[in-house]
Amino acid sequence: MTSGTPVLAGRVALVTGAASGIGAAVARLLAGQGAIVYCADINEVGARTTARSVAASPAPLSLRLDVRDEAAWAAALTAIQGTHGRLDVLVHCAGISAASPLPETTLDEWRRVLAVNLDGAFLAVAHGMRVMRQSGGAIVLLGSASGIRAAAGAAAYSTSKAAVRMLVQVAAKECREGGLPIRINLVSPAGVRTPMWREMPFFQELVARHGSEDAAFAALAGPNGRFAEPEEIAQAVLFLVSDAARHITGIEVPVDGGYLL
């Protein structure tokens, strides 16, 4: 899907979590396929850097967006609609993780993860549906294989991503039964090589033990697997927001190298 005529030519897209990792990869791929891409992140500098790296864009388009803040969502979408009159694609990649045994997980940590991962997803879908209800569009959220197969030591993260699965199904069903021309789907990776891992103490310990990030990722993946690259996840997103998937809604696409088998 990355050769020939751009499959998203002229479409207006918003990508959250665009400062790094999967979000940055999605933003670059959609722009490479002709979309006008707004890069949004709470890390405004990172979002701007990604926007500048999008060669296909006529000008860097970036927004500071705290996905937990409803007013920020309203402002971002108002700005996009004010310029283009519509939003065709919304890819919600923003999220955080945490790793601690359940008895050691504090209520503050639990609430922080769910606020970003679940409240943020709710606001993305709710506001996306509002702006797309007339002109139509495609929404893709990022889930996780850990929302399908429980991950010990990640209760808040697994719970948040499991809830996002149901959110997508409910939203897609409401759109279908309400006659709204909006498709909503979910891409759920297993391990992906992103900067988010660097924030986790256990990963820092693995790096120290094995001598490099590459070795730490290899140790996590085990002898029969590997971590995906962000660009591989972006390809699944591109398919779901393209016309090739125009009859697909309410589904979850695991991109996991067989992890769930």
Q: pLDDT tens digits, residue range 41-95? A: 999 999 999 999 885 555 669 999 999 999 999 999 999 999 999 999 999 999 9
92, β-bridge pairs: 16, 141
CATH topology of domain 12-191+231-255: Rossmann fold (3.40.50)
Other beta carbons within 10 angstroms of residue 44's beta carbon come to 15
**For the chain, domain boundaries:** 12-191+231-255, 193-227
Residues 6+ apart with CB under 8 A from 12: 35, 36, 38, 80, 84, 86, 87, 88, 89
- What amino acid positions are annotated as catalytic residues? 157
Q: pLDDT tens digits, residue range 231-245? A: 999 999 999 999 999
Of the pLDDT bands very low, low, confident and very high (cuts 50, 70, 90), residue 179 is very high
Output the pTM of the full model.
0.92
Amino acid 195 reads: P
Element containing residue 52 per DSSP (H, E): helix 44-53
Radius of gyration of the chain from its Cα atoms, rounded to whole angstroms:
18
**What pLDDT score was predicted for residue 2?**
47
> What is the separation of C-alpha 202 from the centre of its chain, rounded to a whole number of angstroms?
24
User: Distance (Å, rounded) from C-alpha 99 to C-alpha 207?
Assistant: 16
Query: What percent of the chain has a predicted confidence (pLDDT) above 70?
Result: 94
**What pLDDT score was predicted for residue 64?**
96
